[in-house]
Amino acid sequence: MVEGQAVETAVASILKALGEDAGREGLRDTPRRVARMYSELFSGVGVDPRSAIDAIFEEERHEEAVVVLRGVPFYSMCEHHLMPFYGQAHMGYVPKSKIAGASKLVRALEVAARRPQIQERLTAQVADAVHDVLDTAGTGVVIEAEHLCMSMRGVQKRGSVVVTSATRGDFDEAGVRRSQLMSMVQGRAA
């Protein structure tokens, strides 16, 4: 739970420390606006992404069935600079018997993204949530993102994308190889 009043006070201090007049018209309500926005952007702090996958269906296992969800947009905040990183997530899993609606995977991604975060951990947390809750034979997650803390400072050219991936499970049980699933998650021919 974000403490709005404390965030307001802190943002007012930052503005003052920048040499700004925190009382001028354009800035007067900024601490309150930032606090309100932070309560949304950081609403995932302390929430387990696994809790977002709350509707599970039991299905007869189909040999080599694979579920892939590609191109899910997300926004998160880099914990090193409190600047946005954003892009697309691709998720896939090989079910044993449990399946969840696509919206639940999207929700798990959102919960994991709405906290001070790094892309590698975001990728791992989404993979863990899907793998643990659905007890999959195999899970793969790929995230592509642009980081404003890099592109705004010219360290990296605008539009450059960082790609991270995580896999969970031993795969063999369902007869689907790790490379097959990851090809599908990444959008290459399987």
Residue facing Zn ion at closest CB distance? 149
Q: How many Å apart are CA 129 and CA 134, to the nearest integer?
A: 8
Q: Residue 68: which of 97, 90, 98 has the closest Cα?
A: 90
- CA–CA dist 177, 160 (Å, integer): 30
- Closer CB to Zn ion, residue 65 or residue 83? 83
Tell me whether residue 11 or residue 77 sits nearer to Zn ion (CB atom): 77
Distance in Å, CB of 80 to Zn ion, minimum: 4
| Residue 96 CB, nearest approach to Zn ion (Å) | 38
Determine the 3-state secondary structure of 70 from DSSP.
Answer: strand
Q: Which is nearer to Zn ion, 29 or 79 (by Cβ)? A: 79
Residues at the interface with Zn ion (CB under 5 A): 78, 80-81, 149
Beta carbon of residue 124, minimum distance to Zn ion (angstroms, whole number): 18
Give the integer Cα–Cα distance in Å for 38 and 25.
21
Assigned token pair, 108: 């798990």
- Please state whether beta strands 56-58 and 98-100 pair in parallel, antiparallel, or not at all (unpaired): antiparallel
Give the nearer residue to Zn ion in terms of CB position, either 56 or 149: 149
